[in-house]
Chains A and B, each alone.
Chain A
Amino acid sequence: MWSLAHIANEIHQWLNNTFNPTWTLIIEMVLAGVAVIGLFAALGLVLVLMERRVAAWIQIRLGPNRVGPLGLLQSMADTLKLIVKEGLTPDGADKVMFNIAPFIAMIVAMLLMAPIAFAKDFQLWDLNIGVLYVTAVSSIMVISILMAGWSSNNKYSLMGAMRSGAQIVSYELSAGLSIMTIIVLTGSLQVSDIIQAQSNGWWIFKGHLPVWISFIIFIIAVTAETNRAPFDLAEAESELTAGFHTEYSGMKFALFFLAEYINVFIVCAIGATLFLGGWMPLHFGSNNAFNNAMDYIPSSVWFFGKTFFLIFLIMWFRWTFPRLRIDQLLNLEWKYLLPISMFNLLLATAMAILGWHF
């Protein structure tokens, strides 16, 4: 069997036979770190190009098509440009905070990678509070934005940071409640349990109305939490130039930029895990021929396929809808999403108790 879990096991065996357990652990940690950083770089390159292509096609344009064949090397060229640019620190800035902030954004994004199951039995840390861990750690994200906005000593940055803080703190609620719907149905916070519970059908298929509602609310809330249009008030370029990262340039800006895309990937991965079955292949009842054909596709392909589908959905939102005003944004959360998701949670609980789902 040729799968990621198999490769990981082989490496583990080989390391165990060659070194003593402590060194094995250290080397495995280093390998995991390198793998995560490599994934970050690859995701950054792919997602930036994908975003620009999707944007162009939606706006009936061509998009990047000059650098490399079909413009595939465009994001490489962008990276090169950002690396050689000067990383400027403004004179009036709080220098320590200013320079730490992008790294905090990056570290948080890295920590969030831990409980995500990329393929069957392939996960960095299957801790028993998986989903809660993600919601908890992602709330540190707002701190990096507040730090960046404050320490830049710039009114636009400060306003962007305040908007972003208000936005993330409020949308965390409905994102959390829509995740709760799935947790109520599954009865566990552990990522592997949630995926296992979907072996006979993804929650979006067997969960009926409450899961559909919570899926819609989840997508809206995470779009807001990752500060993407139509909720990109934190960096609204027409009002605040670039919001909290106005003063950042070069690699420090690139870290913020990368962290945004990594966060999009992570929330989409969580969405795919909760609602679309993670790495679970698509199965239809007792149609065995079809099910076997689906099983033949590797689980990592399923996972990345679903995640990229959700990423496409979020990009599609971004290039379709106009930006909201701050009062509209908070109205949407507190008057619509929060009451609906609370009611929806009650509905899902009733459904779970009565066993109405398949």
Chain B
Amino acid sequence: MFLTDYIKDVTGALKSLATGMKRTLYYFTHHKEIITEQYPDNRATLVMADRFKGEVVMPHDEKNEHRCTGCTACELACPNGTIKVVTKFDITPEGKKKKAIDKLVYHLELCTMCNLCVQACPSDAIKMAQTFEHSVFDRSKLTKILNNPGSKIMEGVE
């Protein structure tokens, strides 16, 4: 029947509209569920999600030692040339030459936080940090050197 279909149409439409309005009224009256982060005010208590990736860093231990062997796997893995590994040759106590990093140059302004370098690293020397306040007044400040000055490779990392 045309008329019953028509009435069913109208009542169905009203019912679905009422469902939507009930949901928004629930939100309107439940202020405790507000998800807004009032960012600059809550910096002390700000909780970041685990999956958030802010920039690439190289952790150093208390003796100023890192785990990077200078194998350039990260440089090869990077899709847009963000990482540049500058190597040098150290003289080991036995008198042999050994390859080590001089500088690990990281261009934050090019990085897309794709995480491929971290996955490519065989010795877990770099990881993703959760910092996000990267604004600076000069673009050159975004080019960073990840290894600390005077740092050397950790014992036992090949």
Interface residues of A (CB under 8 A from B): 54, 57-62, 216, 316-317, 319-321, 336, 340
Contact = CB atoms under 8 A, between A and B. Distances in A.
Interface centre among B30, B35, B36 (most CB of A within 10 A): B36
B25 interface: yes
A342 B38 CA distance: 52
A209 to B, nearest CB: 14
A336 B14 CA distance: 12
Nearest 4 A-B pairs (CB), nearest first?
A320-B24, A62-B36, A58-B24, A57-B28
A324 B10 CA distance: 16
Nearest to B32: A60
A212 to B, nearest CB: 11
Interface in B5-37: 9-10, 14, 17, 20-21, 23-25, 27-28, 30-31, 33-36
Given A321-B17, A336-B10, A340-B10, A62 B34 contact: yes
Interface residues of B, number: 18
Contacts of B17: 321
Contacts of B21: 316-317, 320
Contacts of A59: 27
B27 A62 contact: no
Contacts of A54: 28
B10 A60 contact: no
Contacts of B31: 57
A317 to B, nearest CB: 8
Contact of B27 (A57, A216, A317, A336): A57
A58 B27 CA distance: 5
A221 B115 CA distance: 54
Contact of B20 (A216, A320, A336): A320
Nearest to B10: A336
A60 B38 contact: no
Contact of B38 (A57, A58, A62, A320): A62
Interface string B99-122: 000000000000000000000000
A59 B38 CA distance: 16
Given A58-B27, A316-B24, A336-B10, 7 more contacts: A57-B27, A57-B31, A60-B27, A60-B34, A62-B34, A316-B21, A320-B20
Contacts of B10: 336, 340
A60 to B, nearest CB: 5
A336 B12 CA distance: 13
A54 B9 CA distance: 30
Interface centre among B14, B21, B25, B28 (most CB of A within 10 A): B28
A317 B20 CA distance: 9
A319 B20 CA distance: 10
Contacts of A336: 9-10
A61 B24 contact: no
B39 to A, nearest CB: 12
